[in-house]
Structures are given as C-alpha cells and as structure tokens.
Amino acid sequence: EVQLQASGGGLEQAGGSLRLSCAGSGISFGDYAIGWFRQAPGKEPEGVSHIRGGDGDTYYADSVRGRFTISSDNAKNTVYLQMNSLKPEDTAVYYCAAIRGSPYLPIIYFNGMDYRGKGTLVTVSS
C-alpha cells in the first residue's frame, strides 16, 4: 500500500518560516515526481513546487519562487519544502502527491497524480 504523509504545518507569523516534510512508503521516490500542492478555502488546489526523483529537476510557482525551496532525500523517501518569508496568502492545506516517471513539472496537477496524501494545515497570520 502506498502512503504519503505530509507534516510540519502550523501557525506562523508573516515573515516566518516553516518546513514541510512528505514521507512516503510503498513507492521509491527516485522513480516518481513529487509535488506539493495547496488548497485555500473555497479555491481549487494549486501547484506550489515539484521535484523529479530521477534527475532532481524542480519547479516553483511564481507566487513562491525565491521564498520556498524543495529538496529530496531519496534514501529516506522524503521530500521537504522549506518555506521562508511566509505571507498570509500562503495560508492553505498543503498536500504532497506522487506521479510515476519524469513528467514535465509545470503542467502536473493534483487530481492527475497517481497518489495523494492527506494534507497539513499552514496558517500565516498578519
């Protein structure tokens, strides 16, 4: 059984930092692209940052580029999302998800992923 578990969310003030972790079991992250998505109340899920396990290629949404950093430890089957300079508009439930192979990262979308984990809530206060 494949499981993805996101953790590390919480309440943070604007300008602060959080680090999210996505731990996987039942799959090898080296064979997948892992994506971080977020969903704010009343909105559709949006892609935040993704990483390909095979070559380490990364993608960042314009709204987070320069503030968030994605990294992967394939040996631990864990992907991290370091979030700095947090803004209130970063408030959302953050999900990690996996898709097999080496997709073109800018176009992967939440409902198109092979596996999706439960989310972790990030709340940024102003």
- Cβ proximity of 55 and 87 under 8 Å: no
The pLDDT score that the predictor gives to residue 109 is 96
What mean pLDDT, rounded, does the chain reach? 97
- Indicate the Cα dihedral angle 66, 23, 51, 55, nearest 10°: 130
pLDDT digits (tens, 9 = 90+) for 83-112: 999 999 999 999 999 999 999 999 999 999
pLDDT at 89: 97
Mean pLDDT over 6-35 rounds to 97
Mean local confidence (pLDDT), 64-75: 96
Would you state the pLDDT for residue 33? 97
CB distance 18 to 122 below 8 Å: yes
Pull the structure tokens for residue 47: 């892609």
pLDDT tens digits, residue range 30-58? Answer: 999 999 999 999 999 999 999 999 899 99
Which residue in 39, 57, 59 sits closest to 49, CA to CA? 59
Q: What is the number of helices (H) and of strands (E) in the chain?
A: 0, 11
What percentage of residues in the chain have a pLDDT greater than 70? 100
Q: In sequence order, what are the residues at sequence separation of 6 or more whose Cβ sits closer than 8 angstroms to the Cβ of residue 14?
A: 86, 87, 88, 124, 125, 126
